[in-house]
Amino acid sequence: MTPELQERIEQIASRYPSRRSALLPALHLVQRESNGYVDGAQLAAVAELIGVPVSEAFGVQSYYTMFERRPVGKFHLQVDTNIPAMLAGAEEIVAQLERSLDIRVGETTPDGLFTLSTVECLASCGTCPVIQVNDGYYESMTPQRTDALIASLRRGVLPDLPVQANFGSVCNVLLKRRGTPNATSLAVYRQTGGYRALPIALAKKPAEIVAEVKASNIRGRGGAGFPAGVKWSFLAKNTGKPTYLICNADEGEPGTFKDRQIMEYDPHLLIEGMTIAGYAIGANLGFIYIRGEFAWIAAILEKAIAEARQAGMLGRDILGRGFDYDLVVHVGAGAYVCGEETALIESLEGKRGNPRLKPPFPAVVGLYGCPTIVNNVETLASVPFIVEHGAAAFMHIGTANNFGPKIFGISGHVRRPGTYEYPLGTPLATLLDAAGGVDGRLKAVIVGGLSVPILTAAEAEGLIMDYDSCLKSGTMLGSGGIMVMNESTSIPRVALRAIRFYAHESCGQCTPCRQGSHTVATLLDKVVAGRGTLADLDLVVRLCRTIKGTTLCPTGEAFATPIEAMVTKFRDEFAALVR
Amino acid sequence: MQLTVDGRKIDAVAGQTVLEAARAAGIYIPALCYHPKTGKAGRCRACVVEIEGMRGLKEACAQEVRDGMVVHTDTDRVQQTRRLVVDLLLAEGHHNCISCQANGTCELQEMAYRIGVERPAFLIETEPAPLDVSSEGIVREADKCIQCGRCVLACQNHVVNEVLAFGYRGSHAAVVCDDDRPMGESSCVLCGECVQVCPVGALVLKQPREAKVRPSETVATKVTCPFCGVGCQIDLHTKDNRYVFAMAHEGQWLKQPNRGSLCVKGRFGLDFIDAPDRLRTPLVRKDGELVEASWDEALDLVAAGLKQAKDKYGPDSVGFFTSAKVTNEENYALGRLARAVIGTNNIDHCARL
């Protein structure tokens, strides 16, 4: 390793309270500097520099999908084939790439120019199919655009292929600046009402902010819907240890692409929210854990943070109020489970993203063993509004117990897939209309990201999109990622793709998740291939039912509910495939 | 304090886990990933129980006892979960007890037996993984690994050799040596701690495997390791009075000088016991030839020689060297012989040579 590279790793390490946290960033850096992969010798050098055993460094490297241990092509084409992508024709794009590059998925062209891979949801559900090429996304890919991309890459040029992403807002809180030119800059953010909440917050006592957020009844937007203010109040007090705030930006639930709208187009909104939240909970350091595939969004955040620091909105003595606070952007490396808060903390500590046994909860023992609050991007981005306009104004939006605006990501068979900000409690029909209406006849819909029970068209009739209504209707609001399926959709194929995702993303710690997801995937593979039996279907359902409640973390059993729902609600379609 | 497990009142001490308290009272709760030396892990899910007043299933290995706690291990839910765990673990890999070294001592087998799983509910076809026989003392069989993580925790935290870790993830997750190389080519120092804690037949010692003797056939005798003065407590496993292999004695491991672990010498260096060229009687040189002698003859000869040297040249003409291979008590006895019987302070230890 060159002294210059060592120096850069040292610099990264200095940002963290613990050196080991630099392991993921160091591996990213070395990989980028060495033709896209890190071999055994380089790994040993990184391990030694950071101060971890080679075995643990390898454990980390081989855990995350973005770390390569063998040479890859100059252009690594990674096609998202998860469900929203599948509904948008990603499989055809894969077939087209296999033909035009004359390689199969997992292979590299003999000239070393291209490697072709298929990957899990890249959070571009509204602009699918999407191909990740090295560190960037190519979205809304059609056969023509794919041809153009390959032709350009053959000339060695990463082309600029503009994307028209759909969005809309009736609340103007979270997507207020979506579509405003240069909204990522501090100047535009301020001109459009930004950084009004921060001085208000800093003039109050931290406890008053916590009380205000608690009073707003805002429920965590990550998926579980736990009241954020209540979570804050669980923080262990007087521990003599620092308190940390972590923003969960590991957006990876298939069908979910909302958080990136905020980070990519309105980063200061998140920064302001995190600064207020940090002040409220007594933190002096906050982290944004962003999924590794969002490298360019991490760069946008870094730039915005630097600008905010320059303007005295971050760093020492913010706005002259004696509050010191800074933010670190931590880039993940490809692992769905890291969206689970304790796995995220482990990952941020430079380890494999294995969820921890709970209790203790992060609010008591979190990052580096210190009290820690983990909140979703959308939750934290709502905080400035609550502080500026008050809990009452927030509760003016939405319905009882389900207050505030929500970004719904609508993908699949609709005419204008995209992100739409509506009050909680909006009818599903209104949202589908906003997205241009169903393309064809509605067959089924998954309304809260992949891990919630699928609804048939009949069940979705009259559905109200908030936490409590969805629960009453036999599903969950989850992340608000709505995947729409018309009559051309094969539910068994959707189920198979879903379980393959869960099996691929299992951390492997606990038996029911590791072996359960793998076993169900094997069984459904048999069924879809026409080699299955009715007994296999029964076994799938029985396994799903028994596994619920037995896993180490909630993500472990996440496959059980949706798969059970698909197989039981569309049993005829599965049964038609068996021997 | 007291808690109730399946209607039975048992005593417990603050700080104990439900698992520890139940086991101390003789109540069977299976636990494949928990080991006293490596602690709770939450991985296997075999030990889950239901506790009144708490939602869902709780890991008995992680749950601290509270006075008056009411625990159920015999509910349908708990039984179903145990069966699920066994079924899933048996479904994958290749768990064939017939030829397995761990047959009779395997904790997965014991759990399956207790539950009454004759054959798993389903089987998933998988390619057999190659055996790793590269190490001089340990055979690794990934197909029998149940991913409990005991070996990893033991290697990383208990003996701190930092060789074993989990690599990859999901159903591909595997225990790896360093950067996933054969054990014989890794930084492994052959302490054998991983074998010591492995609940199944995924990590076994080569010595008994090649001798075709299963641990279930041996008799364990607690002895003190003869290699150095630490005094490590060893369970010497013998069959028909012949040495087969050595395990660290784990009874009250925290009170043992070796904390239930061994080094390469104690683990693998004891096969001299039955070596054919091992000295079995004293040898006395007669006419330039070493010939077998009785202990009486040999000791008389030594005593006479020492006495003669002392009488002729004084006590300080005699010196003693003791060995790191003997116990403190034996070293003490030799010290007495030198100082009280011969009358010299010329006594030293081979470690200073």
Mean pLDDT for the stretch of residues A372-382: 98
B353 pLDDT higher than 80: no
Shared-domain flag, residues B300 and B272: no
By Cβ distance, the residue of B40, B45, B179 closest to A40 is B179
B327 pLDDT higher than 80: no
* Phi/psi at A252 (5° precision): -140, -5
Which residues make Cβ contacts (< 8 Å) with residue A19, sequence separation at least 6? A13, A50, A51
Mean pLDDT for the stretch of residues B311-323: 94
A-B interface: how many C-beta pairs under 8 angstroms? 132
Shared-domain flag, residues B260 and B294: no
Radius of gyration of the CA atoms of chain B, in A? 26
Q: Which residues of A touch B180 (CB under 8 A)?
A: 58, 62
How do residues A393-413 score in pLDDT, each as one tens digit?
A: 999 999 999 999 999 999 999
CA distance A53 to chain B (A): 6
Shared-domain flag, residues B305 and B268: no
* Phi/psi at A306 (5° precision): -60, -40
Residue B35 forms part of a structural domain:
yes
Residue B198 forms part of a structural domain:
no
**Domain end marker among B255, B278, B301:** B278
Q: Do B180 and A504 touch (CB under 8 A)?
A: no
Q: Do A506 and B170 touch (CB under 8 A)?
A: yes
Q: How far apart are CA B11 and CA A367, in angstroms?
A: 36
- Structural domain total, chain B: 3
Residue B310 forms part of a structural domain:
yes
Shared-domain flag, residues B326 and B271: no
B216 pLDDT higher than 70: yes
Shared-domain flag, residues B311 and B273: no
Q: What does the DSSP 8-state code read for residue A97?
A: H
In chain A the first and final C-alpha atoms are separated, in Å, by 57
Residue B303 forms part of a structural domain:
yes
Shared-domain flag, residues B291 and B265: no
B55 is in which domain, residue-wise? 2-74
CA distance A532 to chain B (A): 13
Per the DSSP assignment, residues forming a β-bridge with A409 are A419, A481
Contact B322, B331 (CB under 8 A): yes
Residue B144 forms part of a structural domain:
no
**Domain end marker among B32, B47, B74:** B74
Query: Does B167 contact A at CB distance below 8 Å?
Result: yes
Residue A294 banded pLDDT, cuts 50, 70, 90: very high
Shared-domain flag, residues B311 and B266: no
Nearest CA in chain B to A43: B179
Instruction: Specify the pLDDT at position B230.
Output: 86
Residue A300 banded pLDDT, cuts 50, 70, 90: very high
pTM above 0.90? yes
CATH of the domain at B67: 3.10.20.740
Kindly list the structural domains of chain A, giving each domain's residue range(s) and its CATH number in brackets, ordered by start: 3-61 (1.10.10), 75-154 (3.40.30.10), 175-396 (3.40.50.11540), 402-486 (3.10.20.600), 491-575 (1.20.1440.230)
Residue B340 forms part of a structural domain:
yes
**Domain end marker among B39, B57, B74:** B74
B165 pLDDT higher than 70: yes
Q: Which residues of B touch A512 (CB under 8 A)?
A: 45, 84-85, 88
Instruction: Specify the pLDDT at position B350.
Output: 78
Residue B34 forms part of a structural domain:
yes
Query: Does A511 contact B at CB distance below 8 Å?
Result: yes
Report A:526-545 residues touching B (Cβ under 8 A): 539, 543
Instruction: Specify the pLDDT at position A27.
Output: 98
Shared-domain flag, residues B308 and B337: yes
* Phi/psi at B26 (5° precision): 80, 15
* Preferred mutation among A511, A536, A546 to probe B, highest tally of B CBs within 10 A: A511
CATH of the domain at B236: 2.20.25.90
CA distance B209 to chain A (A): 27
Q: Do A515 and B88 touch (CB under 8 A)?
A: yes
Shared-domain flag, residues B48 and B67: yes
Average model confidence (pLDDT) across chain A:
97
Give DSSP secondary structure letters for A430-494. Answer: HHHHHTT-BSS-EEEEE-SSTTS--EEHHHHTT-EESHHHHHHTTS--TT-EEEEEETT--HHHH
- Please state the separation of Cα B297 from the chain's center in Å: 41
Q: How far apart are CA A427 and CA A460, in angstroms?
A: 10
Residue B42 forms part of a structural domain:
yes
